[in-house]
Amino acid sequence: MAFLQSSFPLPLTLLIALSLLINPSFGFYPKLLNTSLEASETDWSPAGATWYGSANGAGSDGGACGYGTAVEQSPFSAMVSAGGPSIYKSGKGCGACYEVKCSTNAACSGNPVTVVLTDECPGCVSESVHFDLSGTAFGAMANSGQADQLRNAGVLQIQYRKVECNYPGKTVAFNVDAGSNPNYFATLIEYEDGDGELGSVQLKQALDSESWQSMQQSWGAVWKLDSGSALQAPFSIKLTSLESDKIIVANGVIPAGWQPGKTYRSVVNFDG
């Protein structure tokens, strides 16, 4: 077709339109134009990474977030990390989910793995962001059969990005702190989908149908309410996610006759 012969380059959209006219079997798939954007590296950031604990373990026995032995069990399954101050956020970062990957060592697979922040690494300040991964999570970044080789590499330069948490079949759980009593209530909160992190927590007593009382972060993922007077169960608990400000309410999740040390599972979770 003569009009295609030109010394001036044609715009991409015009070329596509002309190709459709010339060859009707040529399919136009808009999503294909976004492929390079979706696969771009622009949403990854640099970080440092080390590992601690046993080579095939979950780092510490629970860690500074308070999840205890749950870090070894599903859904955490030892794929956890301690975080430097910038991501631990004085405990507000507990429960956040990240993808991490490495390519700076021959043993690196370059494939991302997902980890949950469950512990603090207060001395990890050599980089602005640092992950002190469990031995299991660190080894998961390696090529098949090369986990030990990667763990021997020392400090790694990796890439990371924050992702939404997703715990299929899990709802938010409240593990009542062993020190709780009729006047003081504290609970570990775990398995939040979406942000994974909590910005605020509020409690409503059974005899108060209108007023929500703000709970304070005690430590890690543990939140407390020291009322100074007898609390009236059952309790409803309102959770607000840290970054997205989404709100869910676990109505009556802590029953009358609740007991310290017990875990009470809600029927709600964030939608991510």
pLDDT digits (tens, 9 = 90+) for 244-270: 999 999 999 999 999 999 999 999 999
For the chain, domain boundaries? 45-163, 173-265
**pLDDT at residue number 226:** 94
SS (H, E, C) the chain: CHHHCCCCCCCHHHHHHHHHHHCCCCCCCHHHHHHHHHCCCCCCEEEEEEEECCCCCCCCCCCCCCCHHHHHCCCCCCCEEEECHHHHHHHCCCCCEEEEEECCCCCECCCCEEEEEEEECCCCCCCCCEEEEEHHHHHHCECCCCHHHHHCCCCEEEEEEEECECCCCCCCEEEECCCCECCEEEEEEECCCECCCEEEEEEECCCCCCCCEECEEEECCEEEEECCCCCCCCEEEEEEECCCCCEEEEEEEECCCCCCCCEEECCCCCCC
**pLDDT at residue number 151:** 96
- Is a pLDDT exceeding 90 seen at residue 113? yes
Question: Which architecture characterizes domain 45-163 according to CATH?
Answer: Beta Barrel (2.40)
**pLDDT at residue number 39:** 38
Segment 103-132 mean pLDDT: 96
pLDDT digits (tens, 9 = 90+) for 160-208: 999 999 999 999 999 999 999 999 999 999 999 999 999 999 999 997 7
Lowest mean pLDDT across 76-80, 224-228, 239-243, 253-257: 224-228
0.85 surpassed by pTM: no
- Is a pLDDT exceeding 90 seen at residue 61? no
For 173-265, CATH number out of 2.60.40.760, 3.40.50.720, 3.30.450.40, 3.40.50.1950 equals 2.60.40.760
Q: Do domains 45-163 and 173-265 have the same CATH topology?
A: no
- Is a pLDDT exceeding 70 seen at residue 145? yes
